[in-house]
Amino acid sequence: MSTDHILAASLGYYLNPLVNVLLGRLFLGERLRPLQMVAVAVAAIGVAILIGDALDTLWVSVSLALSFGLYGLIRKITPVGSVPGLAIETTLLAPLSLGAVLWYAQAGTGGFGDDLTTSGLLIIAGAVTAIPLLMFATAARRMSYASLGFVQYIAPSIAFLLGVYVYGEPLSTTKLACFILIWASIAIFCADAIKTYRAAKV
């Protein structure tokens, strides 16, 4: 995967929470408190800084953010439990997935079935993917969509830290500024949540 594709994918992760806030407002009627609006504005500035380095692949990032945002919205408003919902999704996607596996196997570019280790890891990857999807579906039904969006900043932040401290990837000023602003927005959002929780207990 090229650097452009990696940046587009990471930008999609950073855009997704903002898309969640927008979808929550448009389709669920969710309203943001003043501090929450400040948090969203700070996060948007951080993402805008990163967008400057990814204008050529911006359509990929927006597509990723919109597709996952709409997926989460559907899971939130559909009256189906997380396990039955995932079973339905898997059933619908299974023929397409099987077709892709057969296509790549015939072309000689597939990884499944080449060796036991690779095949085993691919099978395990299915379970590793399914468990977070089940948890996401459960959270989507219990949390406001804006709050769920901000929780999703954890994933790209972990990827950012792994890239810098484990894999030794270079840290540009742009990425650092984006990271700082996003975590500042998370801190503001959490401060508002704590304030609201304490006020409700009084």
Interior angle at CA 12, CA 111 and CA 77, nearest 5: 95
Listed in sequence order, the residues at least 6 apart from 20 whose beta carbon sits closer than 8 Å to its beta carbon are: 69, 72, 145, 146, 148, 149, 152
State the maximum Cα–Cα separation within the chain, in Å, rounded to a whole number: 66
- What is residue 41's predicted lDDT score, i.e. its pLDDT? 94
* Range name among 1-5, 143-147, 171-175 with the lowest pLDDT average: 1-5
Where do the structural domains in the chain lie, given as residue ranges?
A: 3-201
Above 50 in pLDDT, residue 22?
yes
More confident residue, 101 or 202: 101
The Cα 72–Cα 139 span in angstroms is 10
Q: What is the pLDDT of residue 158?
A: 82
Q: Provide mean pLDDT across the span 154-180.
A: 82
180 and 187 in contact (C-beta within 8 Å)? Answer: no
For 43-63, how does the pLDDT look when each residue is reduced to its tens digit (9 = 90+)?
999 888 888 777 777 888 888
CA 95/CA 107 separation, integer angstroms: 18
Q: Residue 113: left (phi > 0), alpha (psi -120 to 50), or beta?
A: left
pLDDT band at 115 (very low <50, low <70, confident <90, very high): confident
**Given this model, what pLDDT does residue 7 score?**
57
For 30-34, the CB contacts below 8 A with 24+ separation are: 30/144, 30/145, 30/146, 32/146, 33/192, 33/196
Q: Does residue 184 surpass a pLDDT of 90? A: yes
Which pLDDT value is given to residue 1?
A: 47
Residue 2 predicted with pLDDT over 90: no
Mean of all residue pLDDT scores within the chain: 83
Look at residue 177 and tell me whether its pLDDT is greater than 70: yes
Q: Give the pair of three-digit tokens for residue 162.
A: 């792994």
